[in-house]
Structure 1
Amino acid sequence: MESPWTIPLSLLFLTLVLALVLALAIVLLGAITKLESERVDAGHAFFVDPNSSKRVACPSIFDPAQKCMSLIIPAFNEEHRLPAALSETLSYLQQRAKRDKSFSYEVIIVDDGSKDKTYKVALDHARKYTIDNVRVILLGRNQGKGAAVKQGMLHARGELLLMLDADGATKVTDLEKLEEQILAAAKRQLCVGGGASPISSVPNMPEVPVVAFGSRAHLEKQALATVCKYFSLDFSFCLFQISKNAFLLLFQRKWYRNLLMKGFHLLVLLTAGVGVRDTQCGFKMFTRAAAQKLFTNMRLRRWCFDVELVYLCKQLDIPVIEISVNWMEIPGSKVRMTSIMHMLFELMLIHVGYGFSLWKIQT
């Protein structure tokens, strides 16, 4: 005999499922509408003059380029990792400018609402290297890495624009690999001959939309991603002794991080399609034309903006070159379990926003 509770319980379960789906749809549509309304915000950013503490209006990505290269560093609570990364980056840029008088640069640090002394560290470097070479944009409240990168890109002055992480996980010298491939691709599109050459030798290069993604895909098979940290203390054990009081400790990446990475890559493949093996490496270079098209269309603010960039490149027919880079896993990652959930939510936003034409791509 059928229980009198069977049908009511079934209906209750179905009602709960429908309610959850409806709630998720409302949340998704609310987020999609909000992000669409805030899609382009390139007119009200300021950088700070470290000498007078006055706010100075930022230039626009649509202004003529004034530098050969802009390096955009998003930073959130990076007072400990940022100094070393900035020192390495600026040392390289200064040496390159001395070797090549035609080379000019700027470093844009976007403080994404840090609660520590990140802003002070960045401002000290702007004071030391002058605001023509180092600029600090303060977002005020934390908006996410994607929002910070977008602000830096929309107000950069370079012909080439490179985003790189504040932890220095990728050697800054690897930007030459990306630059070389972008210049070669631009020459092919412009039908210009010649081999490797400086940026200035391809005058129309900024007008050619090309993107180069740094990639760690070559590290997956051997699990060579390592955690590196130098200590000036006496330890009872170490793997490699570099000097009398300095040691190098190497740790293999955690198995569950590799598992999560594989699962995330599968979801990315379903979202953005094939073509890019590593979307999340924080080392990407854009020509000025590519940055204009991509970052005025980009909606996502946090973890999956890289995936959205891949999707936009395909929709806008912007070629993407993937290039292997040297990479080390630096302690201090901000990825948490809540971050994984937010990544999944943002992948759903891409599917729904673009799939149902709620997000229009401006060409």
Structure 2
Amino acid sequence: MGRPTTDQSAGVEVSVVLPAYNEAETIESTVETTLRTLSRFLPSGTYEVIVAEDGCDDRTPELAEAMAAADDRVRHFHSDRRLGRGGALEHAFAAAEGDVLVYFDTDLATDMKHLEELVERVRSGRYDVATGSRWMPGRIADRPTKRGVPSRGFNLFVRLLLGSSIRDHQCGFKAFSREVFEELRDDVEDEHWFWDTEMLVRAQRAGYRIDEFPVSWTPKGDTKVDLVRDVFGMGSQIVRTWWQLAVRPRITQRVALVAGAVLTVLAVLLMTQYLDFGAVLTEMQQADPVLVGVAALVYVLSWPLRGVRYRDILEELGFEERWTFLTGAVFISQTGNLVFPARMGDFIRAYVVKARRGIPYPSGFASLAAERVFDLLTITLLAGIVLVGYTVTGQTAELAETVVGAEGAGQVAVGVAVFVAVAALVAVTAIVASAQSDRNLAGSLVRRASSDSYAEFVAGIVERFVDDLQSVAGTRRGFARVGLSSLVIWTLDVVTAMLVLQAFDPGLATVELVSVSFFAVSVGNLAKVLPLSPGGVGLYEGAFTLLVIGLTPVGYPVAIGAAVLDHAVKNVITVVGGYASMLGLNVSLTTAVEESRDVRESRDGETAELD
């Protein structure tokens, strides 16, 4: 292809981006067809074609580079790593020169006779966004069943959940004005197949003028959409966008607090239908205050250890901080978990260490992930040891009968705990095996499911997590320090509950008191892992009560009273320590929540460059 001379004085008005992944067989003909079609209705020098080559492992980069060198109208966007289709489009549009930004699939499934219609709809100023459609009357599209059925389902859900008026969100034939792209690019979070759908939905919400018109479309080759992975992946993106656009704006701090209060009142009212709370309150009033006070002191002693453990974790990641500051950060984050849903406190801790000590968000999240892994391992270990003891003493059948025969919150809590424990053991086993292997088994398993960019993105996250965990627990010294402190922390947590239970004078032998306390507290804390309620309130009490009643002769008034008082003691100490830490570190909980909502984990990888 000769290097034509073009008149650049008019300036580039239209930028066409061709997202390309391993398109060596067709990319040259696609670029030539695109240039030929554009030249029929646009003046020379007013358009450019950008090949957004997305981490290819074939000859596409060399071919694209050669075309860019031979023709001023062609540019090559190169990335050494997979960005995803949406990521490649976003980066190329950002570097494009035109005010009209166009893209279409490189297989040219949409008839190029429609390109002038597409471009002129936006270039003329009549519309801000234009998109082709394979589902409108007047279109010509032969859709195989394996493409047509999922596509119809996807578009139906987008229209129903996201309020879109577009019939075909996935057609790879779209044009945006520069204004729309610049206005919405930071709001669009998906980087793969859902990117353009999210752009269309957000453009409608922002009031931009959008035109959908019928096109002639013929399938070319085999689709690169993985029907299992991408259908579930895009389904999750629909739910995520619906939450962000329709739900989250309505959940103000006042709404959250009122909703929490209403749910709490309803729960209490429902519980009073089945339980004699008068008897529970009577038992709580008769509890030995000295033992309750000693229990509170024991629990207070566990907090400096949490700070020391967090210091050790960060030290293994290359950061040295004082345990006193880190104890305050842990206090604040745990208070956030009690106040806000969905474990927002974990994000708050990452914000605190970033804002006060400059620890990057990725390292903050990595340290939290490592801490959670050790917590799950320790709690599961404690529960497993006691369960072995029950098996040896012949109480397994009694335990199974208690759980199966129970109803309500207790059974749900135990079910959640079992699920979390099994999932934790499987995940940790896979991570440990992966960390000991040069091949990184966790990432390999993800890539085996699919080789597309979305799988590569997920595999990258898994591998970074494995690397971070290996940094913390990869040495005997690091594993021993963090593991031992985790064991002591959770033992103190159990001792706190044991002293509270003993304050009710349950009449249990020491061995029975110790064993049921370890088991009930471990299962109760496993139930709290899933963010079904702020601070796991209800789940912890349900599991604790069910197991104490099932494994001992203690009645429900004492069991419930002990569960409620134990959790109350721990939560009160957490809140007091949290607010004291906020004052000491000058941190606002609400500000931390707002700031942490915008946190995005930075991604490693080589910088993409535009040639």
Class of the TM-score when normalised by the shorter of the 2 chains: 0.5 to 0.7
Pairing partner for 1:330 from 203, 207, 220:
220
Task: State the alpha-carbon separation in 1 of the partners of residues 69 and 113 from structure 2.
Answer: 24
Deviation, 1:171, is 2.9
Gap regions ≥5 residues in structure 2: 4-9, 250-596, 600-611
Residue in 1 aligned with 2:99? 159
Task: State the alpha-carbon separation in 1 of the partners of residues 123 and 144 from structure 2.
Answer: 37
Q: Is the Cα–Cα contact under 8 Å of residues 272 and 307 in structure 1 kept in the other structure?
A: no
Residue in 2 aligned with 1:175? 115
- Residue 212 in 1 paired to residue 130 in 2? yes
For residues 86-124 of structure 1, the C-alpha deviation after alignment (integer angstroms, 9 at most, x for no partner) is 121122234445xx35x6111111111111111112112
For residues 175-218 of structure 1, the C-alpha deviation after alignment (integer angstroms, 9 at most, x for no partner) is 2112333355x26xxxxxxxxxxxxxxxxxxxxx7111111113
Task: State the alpha-carbon separation in 2 of the partners of residues 332 and 86 from structure 1.
Answer: 20
Pairing partner for 2:237 from 320, 334, 346:
346
Q: What percent of counterpart residues are identical? A: 29
Task: State the alpha-carbon separation in 2 of the partners of residues 256 and 72 from structure 1.
Answer: 27
Residue in 2 aligned with 1:302? 192
> Aligned pairs, how many?
242
Deviation, 1:318, is 0.9
Map 1:122-137 → 2, pairs under 5 A: 122-130=64-72, 133-137=73-77
Task: State the alpha-carbon separation in 2 of the partners of residues 165 and 136 from structure 1.
Answer: 16
Q: What secondary structure does 1:217 align onto?
A: coil
Residue in 1 aligned with 2:553? none
Deviation, 1:266, is 1.6
- Residue 112 in 1 paired to residue 2 in 2? no
Q: Is the Cα–Cα contact under 8 Å of residues 154 and 295 in structure 1 kept in the other structure?
A: no
Q: Is the Cα–Cα contact under 8 Å of residues 164 and 204 in structure 2 kept in the other structure?
A: no
Deviation, 1:72, is 0.8
Q: Is the Cα–Cα contact under 8 Å of residues 160 and 286 in structure 1 kept in the other structure?
A: yes
Task: State the alpha-carbon separation in 2 of the partners of residues 69 and 340 from structure 1.
Answer: 33
- Residue identity matched to 1:92: T
Task: State the alpha-carbon separation in 2 of the partners of residues 125 and 214 from structure 1.
Answer: 28
Deviation, 1:341, is 1.8
- Residue identity matched to 1:121: L
Moved over 3 A (4+): 94-97, 357-360
- Residue identity matched to 1:274: S
Deviation, 1:173, is 3.5
- Give the TM-score normalised by the residue count of structure 2: 0.37
- Residue 291 in 1 paired to residue 165 in 2? no
Map 1:240-255 → 2, pairs under 5 A: 253-255=143-145
RMSD (CA atoms):
2.6
Deviation, 1:307, is 2.0
Distance of aligned partners of 1:263 and 1:160 in 2 relative to their CA distance in 1, 3 Å threshold: same
Residue in 1 aligned with 2:301? none
- Greater relative contact order (CA < 8 Å, ≥ 6 in sequence): 1
Map 1:1-363 → 2, pairs under 5 A: 66-96=11-41, 100-101=43-44, 104-130=46-72, 133-183=73-123, 186=125, 210-218=128-136, 224-226=140-142, 253-336=143-226, 337-354=228-245, 355-357=247-249
Task: State the alpha-carbon separation in 2 of the partners of residues 359 and 84 from structure 1.
Answer: 43
Distance of aligned partners of 1:86 and 1:275 in 2 relative to their CA distance in 1, 3 Å threshold: same
Task: State the alpha-carbon separation in 2 of the partners of residues 359 and 320 from structure 1.
Answer: 28
- Residue identity matched to 1:171: D
Task: Report which of the two structures shows the higher radius of gyration computed on alpha carbons.
Answer: 2
Q: Is the Cα–Cα contact under 8 Å of residues 14 and 48 in structure 2 kept in the other structure?
A: yes
For residues 207-231 of structure 1, the C-alpha deviation after alignment (integer angstroms, 9 at most, x for no partner) is xx71111111137x99x534xxxxx
Task: State the alpha-carbon separation in 2 of the partners of residues 167 and 121 from structure 1.
Answer: 16
Identify, as 1 or 2, the structure richer in strand. Answer: 1
Q: What secondary structure does 2:132 align onto?
A: strand
For residues 113-169 of structure 1, the C-alpha deviation after alignment (integer angstroms, 9 at most, x for no partner) is 111111112112112213xx1111112211211111111111111121111111111
